[in-house]
Homo-oligomer: A and B are copies of this chain.
Amino acid sequence: MATNGRATSHGRTLRVAGAQIRNVVGDLAGNAEQILAAMSEAEEAGADVVVFPELALTGYPLADLVLRKEFVNAAAATLDELACSSGLVASVVGTVARVPSRRSWDIHGRDVAISAAVLFDGQLRGAYHKVMLPNYEVFDEARNFAPGSRPDALWRIGEVVAGIAICEDLWSGDGPPEAQAAAGAEILLVPNASPFHQEKPAGRHAHASEVARRNATPVVYVNCVGGQDELVFDGGSLVVDANGELLHRAPQFETECFCLDVPLGPPRPVAGKPITVHARPRSPRRQMPAPASAPEMPADAQVWRCLVLGTRDFLLKNGRSSAVLGLSGGIDAAVTAAVAADALGPANVLGVAMPTPESPAEELHDAEVLAAGLGIEYHVIPLEGITSAVRDGLAELLDGTPDERPTEGLAARTRAAILWAISDQLGHLPLATGNKTELSVGTAAVHGDMAGVFAPLKDCPKTLLYRLAALRNQRGSAIPQRIIERPPTVRTDAWGELPGYAVLDQIVERYLERGESLDDLVAAGFAAPLVRRILQLVDDSEFQRRQTPPGVKITTRAFGQDLRMPITNAWRPYATDHGPPVAVPLNPVRGDPPGTE
């Protein structure tokens, strides 16, 4: 049954459609329309089964929306309608399902499962409930969902025995796929809602192949597409055969309904008791030509598409189609503007330069050239009159204050107030231009550089922005070379001397994404005093990160739900004798604070 350890299908195939749709959280009617359309398409293609993404009907992630009884009821009612419309293609539709209340590791019963409903010939034939509920990084499924209790459920679809597993179920090495293959599954159908980060696409491919090889079953991995708050689901659905070889790859960041004949795994005894979806023998048909696979995208191109889709979907799904942002002549604003132009169309983006008298004329000029290059609207509002009005207002209060600190914070927050005022009047959504590096070390003024309703570059390290600018310029040099080549300013005032971004970004990534410690970083060759200063800045800046708008996750660990530290945190192992940097607004102190009242 196997040659050289390779699984052979003995010529048996299942015609499988995968519907990589672009669903929206909470949009039951709209998602159902997409599902119905794909069901029709699969029927036309003569598919035996069509697989939809995880929570295709409800959208993902649902957060506490799933605690609303009316929502769960409405999803159930919509599923019933879908079931009524189902034909002779077995349809595996992700949704939520009410289940008997089940406790996990606490006292709180959960009574909703993440479900893959199987629809056929006008009926709901059954449902698989996700067993593994990820509860780490961006995931919090154990918060609101009950785990499924039938990891080894099997489904008879005509002459074929299939297993269904959902997303996390696939990844454990001894989970539902293994139980299903052992019980007799010849193919694994796997709905997913798998958000993008830079290492995800390669990881999924390697992993799906491994599961296929381990169990000698083909794996049909169907993902969704679209931005949802901080996450972007990048599609890239995969079909691998029982030897782990790629049969099909859907494109990333786009919808696709594909259909292909998948050679089954070797026949095996059926130990389990499959739920019969139907027992119709298959009518003879010719093998269909394999659809063309999407090519692998280069790494930075994936990031660009992710930023564009995440930004577009945040605005469009929330009823807005235009944006406003500040143009400084720097790289952050340039890349943000280019992302916005690609996401919304340049005619829907307004760039506003808000120079101070100290702003170099060259940078103002670059902002104008950038706007022209991108084709976005451009406007200049000098800041001087406004900030001097604020300074006049403060003069009496601050009279005699010896501290003449730089007014960068004031300028940044005044710019933000102007952008909000424009937004109030014109309806454009304000975009923040800050990047991950400055958010990491706390050099972004709260409600200043990071002010906005969405922050496209929130998870982009500074060094990545230069690569992205160069990449974008391959489609016409919209971003002036001078912006790309101007050496970035690394703030050295209150923070002490920081290294160049190349070093800074490496240290931050190793600390936040790789979990490396001070010792690890020193062993890797970074100077200990430098590492201590940076790690302490990262830890001390948590409060600033809590008030930033959502942005697009692209790295393995993004600030937000993914990476949450206590704001009040007296564990400061990296602090030096110099004490905390003065410009960080909050500096945890040790010891028992004075007693109450």
**Hey, which bits of chain A sit against chain B, CB under 8 A?**
22, 24-30, 33-34, 59, 61-65, 67-71, 74, 103-108, 131-136, 139-144, 147, 168, 171-173, 175, 226-229, 253-255, 305, 308-309, 312-314, 316-320, 342, 352, 379, 381-383, 385-386, 388-390, 392-394, 396-398, 401, 403, 405, 407, 409-410, 413-414, 416-418, 420-426, 429, 445-448, 451, 453, 515, 517-519, 543, 546-550, 563-573, 580, 585-597
Residues of chain B with a CB closer than 8 A to A397's CB:
352, 379, 381, 422
User: Do A133 and B105 form a contact, CB below 8 Å, given A320-B586, A447-B451?
Assistant: yes
Closest to A62 in B: B566
Complex-state Cα separation, A319 to B62, whole angstroms = 37
User: Do A390 and B413 form a contact, CB below 8 Å, given A24-B570, A71-B571, A585-B453?
Assistant: no
| Contact across chains for A566 and B446 when beta carbons are under 8 A apart | no
Q: How far is the CB of A15 from chain B (nearest CB, A)?
A: 26
Complex-state Cα separation, A101 to B548, whole angstroms = 34
| Contact across chains for B423 and A413 when beta carbons are under 8 A apart | no
A-B contact pairs, 30 of them (CB 8 A): A22-B593, A26-B566, A64-B563, A64-B565, A65-B565, A69-B515, A70-B517, A70-B518, A106-B135, A106-B139, A106-B141, A107-B172, A108-B134, A108-B136, A136-B144, A140-B143, A317-B588, A318-B543, A319-B580, A319-B588, A385-B389, A394-B425, A403-B425, A409-B424, A410-B417, A410-B420, A413-B416, A429-B586, A453-B543, A546-B550
Closest to A226 in B: B593
User: Do A318 and B567 form a contact, CB below 8 Å, given A69-B517, A104-B135, A390-B418?
Assistant: yes
| Contact across chains for A405 and B393 when beta carbons are under 8 A apart | no
Residues of chain B with a CB closer than 8 A to A228's CB:
566, 568
Query: Which of A255, A405, A586: most chain B CB closer than 10 A?
Result: A586
Q: How far is the CB of A504 from chain B (nearest CB, A)?
A: 20
Complex-state Cα separation, A589 to B172, whole angstroms = 37
Complex-state Cα separation, A135 to B110, whole angstroms = 11
Q: How far is the CB of A434 from chain B (nearest CB, A)?
A: 13
Residues of chain B with a CB closer than 8 A to A173's CB:
107
| Contact across chains for A569 and B409 when beta carbons are under 8 A apart | no
Add 14 more A-B contacts to A229-B566, A316-B594, A320-B585 (CB < 8 A).
A24-B592, A27-B571, A34-B592, A63-B565, A70-B518, A104-B135, A107-B175, A135-B142, A318-B568, A385-B389, A386-B389, A386-B393, A446-B453, A546-B550
| Contact across chains for B318 and A587 when beta carbons are under 8 A apart | yes
User: Do A425 and B453 form a contact, CB below 8 Å, given A105-B147, A316-B594, A393-B381?
Assistant: no
